[in-house]
Amino acid sequence: MQTTQPGPAVSSNMYHPPQQAMMGGGLFSLHKFLMIGVILILLAILVSALPDFGGAPSEIDYDTSESGWGEKFAEDTESHNDFDRVMGTISTLLGSGGVALIGYAFVREAYDEDTTTPALRITLLILGAVMLLQLLGSGFDVSVSL
């Protein structure tokens, strides 16, 4: 009876993807880009709602019999407005990035040869172009005033 000898150990490097995945364009996936875009848009919605969780300062929250309550109220109102402006800017960036990723995914999928019908390719190309042009045409203006 013979015992089988173990063969040479095959070393696998976890840090480099397989060569076939790199050559086959496996890094792009329509589903992956769509999901990342949708997640960015949902995150933008959440970020834009953050200032509303606490709400703006109200005069009812301050003791009007104390001196200097007006300055404190004005300071808190300015702080809330600054927070609202910054969260709006971050929300705009995230939402625009999500729309851009979805538009790019549609355009990229339209140029892929594996798409089944020409009608689907044309539809995806039109959708992607409309999304990207809408982003450019909306006056993509992100400004933060200090």
59 domain-assigned: yes
**Using one digit for the tens of pLDDT, what is the confidence trace for 102-143?**
888 888 888 776 656 777 778 888 888 888 787 777 765 555
Examine the pLDDT at 56 and tell me if it is beyond 80. Answer: yes
> What pTM does this model have?
0.66
What per-residue confidence (pLDDT) applies to 39? 92
9 domain-assigned: no
The model's confidence at residue 12, banded by pLDDT at 50, 70 and 90, is low
71 domain-assigned: yes
7 domain-assigned: no
Contact at 8 Å (CB) between 91 and 45?
yes
Contact at 8 Å (CB) between 21 and 27?
yes
17 domain-assigned: no
58 domain-assigned: yes
What per-residue confidence (pLDDT) applies to 13? 55
The count of domains in the chain is 1
91 domain-assigned: yes
81 domain-assigned: yes
The model's confidence at residue 17, banded by pLDDT at 50, 70 and 90, is low
Using only C-alpha atoms, what is the Rg of the chain?
26
The alpha-helical segments, DSSP class H, found in 15-68 are 19-23, 30-54
Which range marks the domain in which residue 66 is found?
Answer: 30-137
What per-residue confidence (pLDDT) applies to 125? 82
CA 51/CA 82 separation, integer angstroms: 10
